[in-house]
């Protein structure tokens, strides 16, 4: 861990200003990923600005604007609080489940909601500084492309990077069409639709998100929806708990009150791409269809047909297919098998 | 039946328990040594080649740095002194990725870690030998005579003429011990004597290796290791960190603390090697085995050989007239493999007991019946009688307790919701030995109270050594447990066997028992009186009005034990649930029935068996260390990548012990349980998965992708 | 042919245990083993179960008591120093730390509290778990500098001190019920993960009282206040604490006993 100065920001303005003048300064919130990566010498900030004392932790109903009727979750609230807030549990159980599927009780007590979105990949070539990695060191090559890539992407990867994004929470947020609210370095507010928040690697895998340096996530807004009765977060992993996903699916359905017809469907996948992967092809196919296993399977087939697996992760195509079907069924049954 | 008046055989709680639940138990890095400096290792980023240059200029200028030690300035050490795995900074040669190439000593840990990042190294790189699948073709006969081909009868002919045959290859990956306590050392010199606080399963072995390697006398080294944060074989032999810390402390003339990082653990302290095992079974139509061949191909390090004996179970488990056990080995650029829980038997039993399950399925025979049918009366490998053998009891008791009759004989017949349910069984065994161990027993009387202290350089790595020795001494001396103090984990004490290979309990407890009998004899002789019933040592201290008395014994194993084949045996039963969509496996229930001679403490013994079982479940389902063959590095270098089982992975665990009184093995009839608990476990789980899904996975670990 | 040996304490024994232990323990720690108390325990317990508990005190092969560790290193050894005031186990502490220093290293290397363990240093094992402002967190991923004004409780601070029966300043204060339960159920082997497990388990009790959900909660939408946790719930909620010795079933039994307030049976099975 390289030497750095440590300061505590008094308010959001001071926080963003502190970063504005220093390209190697970073915010410190929960620290669960940043400190880890600093110990690995992957992250090398020269200054840390502790933002945990800022009043940005509140969870409150949205009473005006585009997301009226929805719920706003403070960027600096802890994952545990978000997962257990009565309004989240009641109206966005998919988000509760996804948060609770991630990490451990201790880490969820530390990690913030904004920080969760900024988790960096768990690719082992990214983590070990002696290995080539374009994300860590642009131009050094991708160690995983022709290396051990069982855990890597099957959608949207580039020759430069095949890493996947590790968050569970963000997969649910993608399915729920959340909006990320940001305070810019100059003190402006801006909103980023969730689909535009994270990036595909392309030629610049060093950029995980479309957040500019010094921008502060103040809140995550959840629009109102009718999915609360029928949603499910499925996480497939190499051990039962405390492991990153091999693959995950956030599924939500709105079904007509008369009969079994799908009015709206949301499917987002984790562990398959450099960002939360919205299964838009599958979603489109399901709308207006009967909610049956056969239709779920057809939608899953169509979605996974576009997958481009690597040498060691061909199983993810079949696993993704089955997981979409299972997650939709679980969602349809209100979370029960 | 246990003697109601004895403490041995009762489930007393660990006497070191309060120290452990209050955080007061002191592990290697917990000693409050004053004026400490901190060392951090830096490691090679290539797996084969030579260091061309090391630039330490920036690191030397970094704040707080006291010394940087590399092969260029390290003192001359004896590389054949008994430290395993090399990496002693004696040459620029690189033999594996992550080899220690130097260390930084600084005022604080933060400063040392930072300075280590500032060092830049250039290499002349060679292509590493790191792709086992390719190297396997070049494997050759090992140097180790114990691993020479062992033949009985004519396997080839028996296989050719077999009515029924199973031939299959079973693959097990590299695994790591990953004790929760990373290997760590504090070195403190006083004059020309060094105290090394360093977790050691073999206390005297660590002392000898450190002394020889440092070119000093054994009495100039003291190893202190009262508590060990898990070892599982990795703290049996000692590794470079032990002596490099001593070197650093001498260099800076201050005590030094050096702890490996979790990431450094993967290439610093050994590993369980990758094994490719071919098992061939021939049998008659009614299930009598006629041939068994178990051929293992594995790898060593680049210079040194180590082979875990995968064929051991196959040597003795079944009555078969034709048998062949072979080993082939190829050098690889990895850290030297070493003993890992249930060495050879855990991995070997996965192959053998999976093959037996495959044979039972082919024969349409119950797998328990198949095993009962091939039960050997004597040890088939050497013709010796068993000191005792409990395989049949283990299977029968287990079948009843587990509800084996609920198993569907054909696979994929038991579905509950999204889950396929299956049952599996597999047997295991581990040899029982006693090793020479010395012990001192001291008695001290204060008024009417007698206090005993037993002292020996034994180790307790969570196995319960403290507690069983207190129980043993209390019984032998006629004292309550509270009046016995156990002092172990220090090389200044009488030399003792290691807590390895399941020899700890039998070696230590027999020595302590012998010492207590001896002190009673000596007190009796001193009194010169005749007693109707043998008095206890504590009664004699009172009657003779002695305040202090002590004796020492150098206990040896029974010579007659050599006439028998002495082993622990078990039968493992697993019930798994496999998610039919995702392939995720959960072991719902697991039962191990174990015959391991005298059980000194059922509470700690049960824990140890269940712990071994959980290791086996990890082996079956989650644990795998993966090498990138291009660079020879492990891509699974943290607990986030190498999955040891978490709490939720483990369902209901149950242990049953078979009561045995086997005094042929040793006087106290102790066979040891540390190793046998893992043997047969992975096969039981894999067999249950076959019963659940109809899918035979011969490649561990059985991760979800293998069941789609 | 099976024979269950149920060695759970009877209610009477348990009461006796509770009545005798604190006093006995302190006496033992002060003066060495007292035979009268020991024999009383032995006789009334009818075996070794309680005996071992009292014997423990004499067996504490713990590190030697040292002088206080220097809280203040020389200024040269501290880079980017941050002045810090926090409360650790009920005691106000003030020190200057290197900005890079984690809470774990501060506890272990500066405050002589080595109970919290460094198992991985990267938030992947849970051995460093402590309670900060009552919440379980990983001290290895917490910068000490960020703990200004906070309350930290470690394994060393769980046992109740200063009760009327305990003697001032003694380390053998009355154990936390979770520590007692871990002892009884053998919720550890090597003991290295144990401080983290116990801190985590203590926090888990509060989380259950608060009605928190987990990934295995059947219906997260139903928030009912204090929840009775199934063993499956305990397993999931304890999955952030790895135990390489494999003491998980015993850990779950210990937590279930404290959580439910009802004794959980201990069974040791033998077959002839």
Name the phi and psi angles at B29, rounded to 5. -95, 10
Contact C115, C154 (CB under 8 A): yes
Which among A39, A238, A316 is the nearest to B622, CB-wise? A238
Give the model's pLDDT for residue B244.
98
Structure-token pair, residue C9: 């304490």
* Residue B406: other Cβ atoms inside 10 A: 10
DSSP A158: B
Give the model's pLDDT for residue C26.
37
Name the phi and psi angles at C195, rounded to 5. -55, -45
CB contact under 8 Å between A240 and B636, yes or no, is no
From the candidates A1, A5, A6, A122, which should be mutated to test the interface with C, based on the most C CB atoms within 10 A?
A6
Which among B417, B641, B704 is the nearest to A246, CB-wise? B704
DSSP B300: E
Separation in Å, CA of B498 to nearest CA in chain A: 33
What is the spatial distance between Cα C157 and Cα C113, in angstroms, rounded to a whole number?
Answer: 10
Distances (CA, A) of B296 to A284, B130, B173, B305, B310: 54, 18, 13, 14, 7
The pLDDT of residue B45 is above 50:
yes
Contact C204, C238 (CB under 8 A): yes
DSSP B310: T
Name the phi and psi angles at C59, rounded to 5. -90, 0
When pLDDT is averaged across residues B601-608 and rounded to a whole number, the result is 98
Superfamily of domain A231-332: CO dehydrogenase flavoprotein, C-terminal domain (3.30.390.50)
What is the spatial distance between Cα C45 and Cα B694, in angstroms, rounded to a whole number?
Answer: 52
Cis-peptide, bond into residue B701, ω within 30° of zero: yes
Give the model's pLDDT for residue C161.
60
- Residues 6 or more apart whose CB falls under 8 angstroms from that of C120 comprise B182, B262, B638, B639, C127, C140
- Picking from B352-356, B412-416, B531-535, which range would have the lowest pLDDT averaged per residue? B531-535
Distances (CA, A) of B180 to A217, B27, B176, B501, C121: 37, 11, 12, 20, 11
Structure-token pair, residue C69: 């560790």
- Picking from A76-80, B17-21, B630-634, C56-60, which range would have the lowest pLDDT averaged per residue? C56-60
When pLDDT is averaged across residues B46-53 and rounded to a whole number, the result is 98
CB contact under 8 Å between B582 and A326, yes or no, is yes
* Residue B383: other Cβ atoms inside 10 A: 8
Q: Residue for token digits 């630039």? A: B55
Q: Does B45 touch chain A (CB under 8 A)?
A: yes
CB contact residues (below 8 A), chain C span 72-101, against chain B: 73-74, 76-79, 98, 100-101
Give the model's pLDDT for residue B5.
83
Of B358, B318, B369, B362, the closest CA to residue B569 belongs to B318
Distances (CA, A) of B44 to A195, B240, B479, B627: 42, 15, 56, 15
Q: Are strands C2-6 and C267-271 parallel, antiparallel or unpaired?
A: antiparallel
What is the spatial distance between Cα B478 and Cα B621, in angstroms, rounded to a whole number?
Answer: 48
Q: What is the pLDDT of residues A100-137, one digit of tens each?
A: 999 999 999 999 999 999 999 999 999 999 999 999 99
Name the phi and psi angles at B226, rounded to 5. -70, -30
Structure-token pair, residue B17: 């328990």
What is the spatial distance between Cα A180 and Cα A168, in angstroms, rounded to a whole number?
Answer: 16
The pLDDT of residue B196 is above 80:
yes
CB contact under 8 Å between C213 and A84, yes or no, is yes
Which among A41, A124, A239 is the nearest to B645, CB-wise? A239
CB contact under 8 Å between B705 and A148, yes or no, is no
Q: Is the ipTM of this complex over 0.95?
A: yes
Contact A203, A160 (CB under 8 A): yes
DSSP characters for B509-547?
HHHHHHHHHHHHHHHHHHHT---SSPPPHHHHHHHTT-S
Give the model's pLDDT for residue A335.
84
Nearest CA in chain C to B482: C55
CB contact under 8 Å between A236 and B630, yes or no, is no
What is the spatial distance between Cα A248 and Cα A320, in angstroms, rounded to a whole number?
Answer: 8
DSSP B604: H
Of A176, A221, A229, A226, the closest CA to residue A63 belongs to A221
From the candidates C113, C171, C190, which should be mutated to test the interface with B, based on the most B CB atoms within 10 A?
C190
Q: Which of the four pLDDT bands, split at 50, 70 and 90, describes residue C76?
A: low
Burial environment of residue B160 by CB neighbours within 10 A (0 to 12, 13 to 18, 19 or more):
exposed
Chain C residues in contact with A28 by the CB 8 A cut-off are 143, 146
DSSP characters for chain C?
-EEEEE-PPPHHHHHHHHHHHHHHHHHHHHHS--HHHHHHHHHHHTSHHHHHHHHHHHH--BPPP-PPPPSS--GGG-SS-EEEEEEETTEEEEEEE-TT-BHHHIIIIIS--TTS--SSSSSSS-TTEEEETTEEEEGGGSBGGGGTT-EEE-GGGTSB-S-TTSPTT-S-PBPPHHHHHHHHTT--SS-SSHHHHHHHHHHHHHHHHHT---TT-S-TT---SS-PPPHHHHHHHTTTS--TT--HHHHHHHHHHHHHSSPPP-EEEEE-
Name residue A152's beta-bridge partners: none
Structure-token pair, residue A198: 């994270």
Q: What is the pLDDT along chain A (337 residues), one digit of tens a residue?
A: 999 999 999 999 999 999 998 999 999 999 999 999 999 999 999 999 999 999 999 999 999 988 899 999 999 999 999 999 999 999 999 999 999 999 999 999 999 999 999 999 999 999 999 999 999 999 999 999 999 999 999 999 999 999 999 999 999 999 999 999 999 988 999 999 999 999 999 999 999 999 999 999 999 999 999 999 999 999 999 999 999 999 999 999 999 988 799 999 999 999 999 999 999 999 999 999 999 999 999 999 999 999 999 999 999 999 999 999 999 999 999 887 7
Contact B284, B278 (CB under 8 A): no
Q: Which of the four pLDDT bands, split at 50, 70 and 90, describes residue C75?
A: low
Tell me the fold of C75-157.
Answer: Ubiquitin-like (UB roll) (3.10.20)
We find that the CATH architecture of domain B275-433+562-707 is 2-Layer Sandwich (3.30)
Name all chains with 3 or more CB-CB pairs below 8 Å to chain A: B, C
Separation in Å, CA of A6 to nearest CA in chain C: 6
Chain B residues in contact with C120 by the CB 8 A cut-off are 182, 262, 638-639
Separation in Å, CA of B615 to nearest CA in chain A: 14
Residue of A173 and C57 predicted with greater confidence: A173
Q: What is the pLDDT of residues B279-312, one digit of tens each?
A: 999 999 999 999 999 999 999 999 999 999 999 9
C-alpha Rg value of chain B to the nearest Å: 26
Q: Which of the four pLDDT bands, split at 50, 70 and 90, describes residue B200?
A: very high
Name the phi and psi angles at B421, rounded to 5. -105, 140
Q: Is C159-272 CATH 3.90.226.10? A: no
Distances (CA, A) of A71 to A55, A93, A99, A327, B229: 17, 13, 16, 24, 47
Of C81, C263, C111, the closest CA to residue C184 belongs to C263
> Residues B85-90: contacts with CB within 8 Å, 24+ apart?
B85/B239, B85/B240, B85/B268, B85/B269, B85/B270, B85/B301, B85/B335, B85/B336, B85/B338, B86/B240, B86/B301, B86/B303, B86/B336, B87/B239, B87/B240, B87/B268, B87/B335, B88/B213, B88/B240, B88/B243, B88/B244, B89/B240, B89/B244, B89/B247
From the candidates A35, A39, A171, A172, which should be mutated to test the interface with C, based on the most C CB atoms within 10 A?
A35
Chain B residues in contact with A167 by the CB 8 A cut-off are none
Give the model's pLDDT for residue C17.
38
CB contact residues (below 8 A), chain C span 146-175, against chain A: 146, 148
Which among B7, B30, B110 is the nearest to C114, CB-wise? B30
Helix or strand or coil: residue B292? strand
Q: Where are the domains of chain C?
A: 1-60, 75-157, 159-272
Helix or strand or coil: residue B78? coil
Q: Does A3 touch chain B (CB under 8 A)?
A: yes
Separation in Å, CA of C69 to nearest CA in chain A: 25
The pLDDT of residue C11 is above 90:
no
Q: Where are the domains of chain A?
A: 231-332
Separation in Å, CA of B324 to nearest CA in chain C: 35
| Residues of B noted as catalytic | 675
Q: Which of the four pLDDT bands, split at 50, 70 and 90, describes residue C74?
A: low
Q: Which of the four pLDDT bands, split at 50, 70 and 90, describes residue B260?
A: very high
CA dihedral angle for residue A286, residue A288, residue A289, residue A290, rounded to 10 degrees: 120
* A and B: number of Cβ contacts within 8 A: 89
pLDDT cut 70: percent of chain B above it: 99
CB contact under 8 Å between B582 and A234, yes or no, is yes
Q: Where are the domains of chain B?
A: 17-25+434-556, 31-127+180-230+235-267, 275-433+562-707
Give the model's pLDDT for residue A239.
97
End-to-end CA distance of chain A: 47
Give the model's pLDDT for residue A259.
78
Q: Which of the four pLDDT bands, split at 50, 70 and 90, describes residue B88?
A: very high
Give the model's pLDDT for residue A107.
98
CB contact under 8 Å between A106 and C212, yes or no, is no
Averaged pLDDT score across all residues of chain B: 97
Q: Does C27 touch chain B (CB under 8 A)?
A: no
Nearest CA in chain C to B614: C246
Structure-token pair, residue C25: 């323990």
CB contact under 8 Å between C137 and A104, yes or no, is no
The pLDDT of residue B360 is above 70:
yes
What is the spatial distance between Cα B53 and Cα B51, in angstroms, rounded to a whole number?
Answer: 6
Tell me the fold of B31-127+180-230+235-267.
Answer: Aldehyde Oxidoreductase; domain 4 (3.30.365)
Nearest CA in chain A to B638: A124
Name the phi and psi angles at A251, rounded to 5. -125, 140
The pLDDT of residue C46 is above 80:
no
* Residue B148: other Cβ atoms inside 10 A: 13
* Residue B646: other Cβ atoms inside 10 A: 26
Contact B428, B345 (CB under 8 A): yes
Give the model's pLDDT for residue C222.
85
Q: Count how many Cα atoms sit within 13 Å of the Cα of residue B154 in the half-sphere of its side chain.
A: 5
Q: Is B17-25+434-556 CATH 3.30.565.10? A: no
Chain A residues in contact with C210 by the CB 8 A cut-off are 84
CB contact under 8 Å between B582 and A236, yes or no, is yes
Give the model's pLDDT for residue B3.
62
Name residue B426's beta-bridge partners: B572
Chain C residues in contact with A5 by the CB 8 A cut-off are 80, 99
CB contact under 8 Å between C188 and B18, yes or no, is no
Distances (CA, A) of B133 to B136, B309, B494, B627: 6, 20, 47, 11
Chain B residues in contact with C33 by the CB 8 A cut-off are 449, 451, 482-483
Q: What is the pLDDT of residues C79-115, one digit of tens each?
A: 899 999 999 999 999 999 999 999 999 999 999 999 9
Are B17-25+434-556 and B31-127+180-230+235-267 the same fold in CATH? Answer: yes
Q: Are strands A59-61 and A71-74 parallel, antiparallel or unpaired?
A: antiparallel
Averaged pLDDT score across all residues of chain C: 78
Q: Does C44 touch chain B (CB under 8 A)?
A: no
The pLDDT of residue C163 is above 50:
no
CB contact under 8 Å between A239 and B646, yes or no, is yes
What is the spatial distance between Cα B685 and Cα B590, in angstroms, rounded to a whole number?
Answer: 9
Chain A residues in contact with C143 by the CB 8 A cut-off are 6, 28, 31, 35, 48
Give the model's pLDDT for residue B36.
97
Name residue B653's beta-bridge partners: B590
DSSP B186: E
What is the spatial distance between Cα C178 and Cα C198, in angstroms, rounded to a whole number?
Answer: 7
């Amino acid at each position: 861990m390289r030497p750095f100065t440590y300061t505590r920001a008094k308010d959001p303005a001071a926080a963003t200003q502190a970063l504005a003048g220093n390209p190697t300064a970073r915010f410190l919130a929960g620290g669960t990923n940043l400190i880890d990566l600093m110990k690995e010498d992957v992250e090398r900030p020269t200054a840390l600005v502790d933002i945990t004392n800022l009043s940005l932790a509140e969870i409150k109903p949205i009473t005006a604007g585009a997301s009226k009727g929805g719920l706003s979750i403070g960027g600096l609230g802890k994952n545990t609080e978000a997962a257990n807030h009565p309004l989240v549990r009641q109206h966005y159980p998919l988000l509760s489940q996804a948060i609770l599927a991630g990490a451990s009780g201790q880490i969820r007590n530390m990690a913030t909601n904004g920080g969760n979105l900024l988790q960096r990949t768990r690719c082992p070539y990214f983590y070990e500084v002696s290995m080539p990695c374009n994300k860590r060191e642009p131009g050094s090559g991708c160690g995983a492309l022709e290396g051990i890539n069982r855990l890597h992407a099957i959608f949207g990867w580039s020759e430069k990077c095949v890493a996947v994004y590790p968050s569970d929470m963000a997969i649910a947020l993608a399915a729920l069409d959340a909006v990320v609210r940001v305070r810019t370095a100059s003190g402006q507010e801006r909103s980023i639709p969730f689909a535009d928040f994270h990036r595909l690697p392309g030629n610049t895998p060093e950029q995980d998100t479309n957040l500019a340096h010094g921008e502060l996530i103040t809140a995550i807004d959840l629009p109102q929806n009718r999915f609360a009765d029928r949603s499910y977060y499925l996480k497939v992993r190499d051990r039962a708990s405390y492991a990153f996903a091999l693959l995950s699916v956030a599924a939500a359905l709105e079904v007509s009150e008369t009969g079994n017809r799908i009015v709206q469907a949301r499917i987002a996948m984790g562990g398959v791409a450099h960002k939360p992967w919205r299964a838009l092809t599958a979603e489109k196919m399901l709308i207006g269809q009967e909610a049956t296993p056969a239709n779920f399977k057809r939608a899953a087939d169509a979605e996974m047909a576009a997958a481009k697996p690597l040498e060691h992760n061909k199983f993810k195509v079949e696993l993704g297919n089955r997981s979409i079907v299972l997650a939709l069924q679980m969602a349809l049954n209100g979370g029960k098998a | 039946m246990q003697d109601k008046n004895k403490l041995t055989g009762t489930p007393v709680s660990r006497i070191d328990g309060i120290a452990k639940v209050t955080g007061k138990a002191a592990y290697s890095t917990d000693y409050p040594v004053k004026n400490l400096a901190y060392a951090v290792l830096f490691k090679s980023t290539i797996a084969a080649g030579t260091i061309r240059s090391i630039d330490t200029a920036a690191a030397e200028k970094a704040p707080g740095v006291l010394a940087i030690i590399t092969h260029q300035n390290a003192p001359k050490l004896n590389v054949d002194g008994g430290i395993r795995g090399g990496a002693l900074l004696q040459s620029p040669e690189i033999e594996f990725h992550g080899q220690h190439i130097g260390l930084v000593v600084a005022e604080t840990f933060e400063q040392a870690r930072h300075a280590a990042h500032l060092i830049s190294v250039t290499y002349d790189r060679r292509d590493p030998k790191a792709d086992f699948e390719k190297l396997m073709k070049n494997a050759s006969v090992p140097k180790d005579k114990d691993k020479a081909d062992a033949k009985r009868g004519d396997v080839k002919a028996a296989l050719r003429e077999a009515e029924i045959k199973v031939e299959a290859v079973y693959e097990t990956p590299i695994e790591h011990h990953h004790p929760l306590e990373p290997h760590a050392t504090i070195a403190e010199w006083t004059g020309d004597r060094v105290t090394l606080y360093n977790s050691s399963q073999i206390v005297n072995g660590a002392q000898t290796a450190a002394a020889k390697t440092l070119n000093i006398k054994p009495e100039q080294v003291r190893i202190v290791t009262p508590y060990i944060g898990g070892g599982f074989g990795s703290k049996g032999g000692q590794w470079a960190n032990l002596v490099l810390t001593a070197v650093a402390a001498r260099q800076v003339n201050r005590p030094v603390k050096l702890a490996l990082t979790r990431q450094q653990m993967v290439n610093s302290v050994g590993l369980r090697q990758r094994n490719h095992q071919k098992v061939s079974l021939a049998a008659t139509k009614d299930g009598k085995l006629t041939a068994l061949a178990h051929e293992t191909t594995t790898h060593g390090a680049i210079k040194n050989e180590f082979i875990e004996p995968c064929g051991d179970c196959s040597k003795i488990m079944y009555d078969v007239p034709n048998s062949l056990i072979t080993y082939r080995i190829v050098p690889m650029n990895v850290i030297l493999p070493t003993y890992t829980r249930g060495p050879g038997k855990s991995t070997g039993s996965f192959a053998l007991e999976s093959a037996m399950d495959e044979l039972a399925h082919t024969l349409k025979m119950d797998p328990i019946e198949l095993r009962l049918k091939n039960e050997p009366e004597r040890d088939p490998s050497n013709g010796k009688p068993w000191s005792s053998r409990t395989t049949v009891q283990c299977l029968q008791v287990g079948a009843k307790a587990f509800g084996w009759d609920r198993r569907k004989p054909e696979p994929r017949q038991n579905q509950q919701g999204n889950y396929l349910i299956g049952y599996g069984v597999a047997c295991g065994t581990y040899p029982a030995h006693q090793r020479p161990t010395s012990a001192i027993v001291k008695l001290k009387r204060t008024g009417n109270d007698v206090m005993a202290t037993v002292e020996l350089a034994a180790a307790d790595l969570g196995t319960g050594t403290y507690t069983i020795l207190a129980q043993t001494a209390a019984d032998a001396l006629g004292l309550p447990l509270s009046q016995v103090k156990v002092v172990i984990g220090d090389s200044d004490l009488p030399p003792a066997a290691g807590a390895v290979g399941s020899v700890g309990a039998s070696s230590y407890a027999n020595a302590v028992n012998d010492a207590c009998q001896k002190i009673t004899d000596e007190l009796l002789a001193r009194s010169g009186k005749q007693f109707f019933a043998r008095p206890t040592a504590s009664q004699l201290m009172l009657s003779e009005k002695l305040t202090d008395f002590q004796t020492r014994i150098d206990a040896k194993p029974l010579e007659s034990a050599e006439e028998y084949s002495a082993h622990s045996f078990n039968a493992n039963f697993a019930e798994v649930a496999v998610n039919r969509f995702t392939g995720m496996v959960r072991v719902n229930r697991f039962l191990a029935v174990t015959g391991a001679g005298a059980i000194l403490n059922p509470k700690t013994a049960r824990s140890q068996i269940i712990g071994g079982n959980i290791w086996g479940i990890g082996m079956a389902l989650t644990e795998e260390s993966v090498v990138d063959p291009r660079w020879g590095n492990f891509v699974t270098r943290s607990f986030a990548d190498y999955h040891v089982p978490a709490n939720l992975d483990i369902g209901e665990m149950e242990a049953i012990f078979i009561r045995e009184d086997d005094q042929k093995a040793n006087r106290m009839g102790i066979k040891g349980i540390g190793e046998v608990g893992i043997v047969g476990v992975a096969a039981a789980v894999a067999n249950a998965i076959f019963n659940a899904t109809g899918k035979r996975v011969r490649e561990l670990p059985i991760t979800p992708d293998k069941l789609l | 042919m099976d024979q269950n040996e149920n060695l759970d304490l009877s209610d009477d024994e348990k009461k006796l245990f509770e009545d005798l232990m604190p006093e006995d323990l302190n006496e033992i720690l002060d003066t060495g083993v007292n035979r009268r108390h020991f024999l009383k325990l032995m006789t009334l317990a009818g075996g070794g179960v309680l005996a071992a508990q009292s014997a423990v005190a004499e067996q504490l092969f713990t590190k030697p008591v040292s002088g206080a560790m220097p809280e203040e290193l020389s200024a040269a050894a501290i880079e980017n120093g941050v002045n810090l005031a926090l409360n650790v186990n009920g005691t106000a502490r003030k020190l200057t730390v290197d900005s890079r220093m984690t809470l774990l290293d501060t506890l272990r290397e500066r405050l002589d509290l080595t109970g919290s363990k460094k198992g991985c240093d990267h938030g992947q094992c849970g051995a460093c778990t402590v309670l900060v402002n009552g919440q379980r967190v990983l001290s290895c991923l917490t910068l000490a500098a960020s703990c200004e004004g906070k309350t930290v409780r470690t394994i060393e601070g769980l046992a109740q001190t200063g009760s009327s029966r305990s003697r001032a300043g003694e380390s053998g204060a009355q154990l936390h019920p979770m520590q007692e339960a871990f002892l009884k159920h053998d919720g550890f082997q090597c003991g290295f993960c144990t401080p983290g497990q116990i801190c985590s388990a203590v926090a888990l009790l509060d989380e259950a009282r608060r009605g928190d959900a987990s990934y295995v909660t059947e219906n997260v939408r139903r928030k009912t206040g204090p929840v009775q946790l199934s063993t499956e719930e305990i397993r999931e909620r304890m999955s952030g604490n790895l135990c390489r010795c494999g003491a998980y079933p015993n850990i779950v039994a210990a937590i279930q006993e404290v959580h439910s307030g009802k004794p959980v049976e201990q069974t040791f099975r033998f077959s002839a």
